[in-house]
Amino acid sequence: MAMITIQKMSHEHISSVVELDLLCFGGLWNAQGYQRELESPNSDLLILVIGQNTGDRNEEVVFKSSNFQSQITYNHQSIIGIGCLWAILEEAHITILGIHPQYQRLGFGQLLLYTLMRSAWERGLERATLEVAASNFSALSLYHKFGFQDVGRRRGYYQQTGEDALILWRGHLHYPEFEQTLSEWHRQVVARIDGQ
């Protein structure tokens, strides 16, 4: 049975995460970059793991699913997603959200984004922002589903391609009703993944 967990990244994960970063982003951050994030009290650096439950208290068992047996092969534990946010004053700046290419379009991006947004809420942050490539329609669809709105554009933001980035923003994380929104997102995410 596949066990899907969200864990706080630790030093032992750096080499695997750098490999995943290379697959997802072409090498956005190196080992030193991830090391800095781990040492920063203003960063929440999370990994999405599929495999056996280790009983680690730093991991949250999201759910178990037998549906992945025929679709996904995994080692003892495989890191298939990474996400990071920076807490800057009252804002959560989502800096990384990536899922291994073989595991995309299965709902894992939704799960990771939900967890980052919940982390921002737990920190008491008021809003969230991020940049995304203007041509990344699947990511834009995901962010719009979570209530993000386009508020600007950074011309030539991505150095390798010269592509523009859209600036997305979502407010009201500190409003009382946002807790109910989180519960609804969680229900949708679990239904999406468990329905595979």
**Secondary structure E strands in 9-139:** 43-51, 59-65, 77-88, 91-99, 127-133
Name the active-site residue from 131, 177, 179, 184.
Answer: 131
3-state SS string over 122-146? HCCCCEEEEEEECCCHHHHHHHHHC
> Other CB atoms closer than 10 Å to residue 70's CB: what's the count?
8
DSSP 104: T
143 is catalytic: yes
| CB contact at 8 A, 105 and 99 | no
Name the active-site residue from 19, 143, 157, 184.
Answer: 143
| CB contact at 8 A, 150 and 16 | no
Q: How far is CA 165 from CA 113, 136, 140, in A?
A: 19, 9, 11
- DSSP string over 138-188: HHHHHHHHTT-EEEEEETT--TTT---EEEEEE--TTSTTHHHHHHHHHHH
Q: Is 63 helix (H, G, I), strand (E, B) or coil?
A: strand
Q: Which residues are the active-site residues?
A: 131, 143
